[in-house]
Structure 1
Amino acid sequence: MIDIAVIGAGRIGAVHAASVAAHPGTRLALVADPFGDGAARLAAPYGARATTRVEDVFEAADVDAVIIGSPTPLHVDQIVASVHAGKAALCEKPVDLSLDRVDACLAAIAGQEHRVMIGFNRRFDPSIAQIHARVADGEIGPLEQLTIISRDPAAPPAAYVAQSGGIFRDMTIHDLDMAAHFLE
């Protein structure tokens, strides 16, 4: 059983908490969110603990892995704290809006990069995985042109978009990952 903490009780934190709780090999151990009672509301249905102190995640002996669903400006510090605490981390994208901060993150976790995964989920979508497999097997033929059209199921909150770098940056990063995945 892998015990997981989720940082961020907003829209994406709720998606991750539900996914963790639904998987038979994982347990939602802790939800952290520094604002209001969001962590308590998200943790309660799953029997998880809640805290308004994000530091509790890194100090918790019963947490093996951390899902970072906090605002983008907090990602680097939380990735580094997770790795330094000996925990694996899945971080929502982007790591940061500054390439210098991303480089600093990589330097801070040097040798432990394998403990971190960035949330490029679209390549794991069953329909995308099927098309990728068909291209890789030669069933469709050689890839000559790749057109990617993607949308979120609903518009994100304005406060999120302001910190994420804007809707084009937020969505285009998925498109770039998809292109790399099909072209590898």
Structure 2
Amino acid sequence: MSARLAGWTVEELGPAGRVRPVAVAPAPVLGGGTGWVDPCADEVVRLAADLVATMRVSPGCVGLAGPQLGERADIFAVDVTGHPKALTVHGVFVLCNATVVEATRWRPGREGCMSVPDLTGDVKRATRLVVTGRLPGSGEEVRLTTDAFEARALQHEIDHCAGKLFLDRVAGAHAVFPRKVYR
């Protein structure tokens, strides 16, 4: 698929989204999981636009999920464009009710998260991934095949929708590190 994931672009969502605050652990909305969403519902389309708007103004952000904006909704945005570890890049996209169909070639890698701003951690994730989900607005089901960093970002956001943080996936305290601050 190209940056126009299955013929859809973020701009087609309608009015620009609004930038919203990001929930930080231990906010209750980050745990417990989310519920299925109707991708055609107006509030879901607005949330999709808000996810993209908030992601775009957040330096280094490559993904953001509904719970991070305080919503128990199974929806997330991803954009790994320009990231040096990305091989496959589908541009900016939003998926609702995503499910992992296939996950292979597991490798450890360092992850950070806007909801855990002071820490990073080593997490083992699949480097080849097939996911299905629905597009906001149309509800069209899409199948996305990706790899490398984009696969990691997708799994990270799917975890948010399941009520998990990357800290829930690290092998132990030895795999958690203070985030480096660059000035």
TM-score, normalised relative to structure 2: 0.24
Greater share of helix residues, 1 or 2?
Answer: 1
- With a CA cutoff of 8 Å and minimum separation of 6, indicate the structure with the bigger relative contact order: 2
Greater share of strand residues, 1 or 2?
Answer: 2
Bigger radius of gyration, 1 or 2? Answer: 1
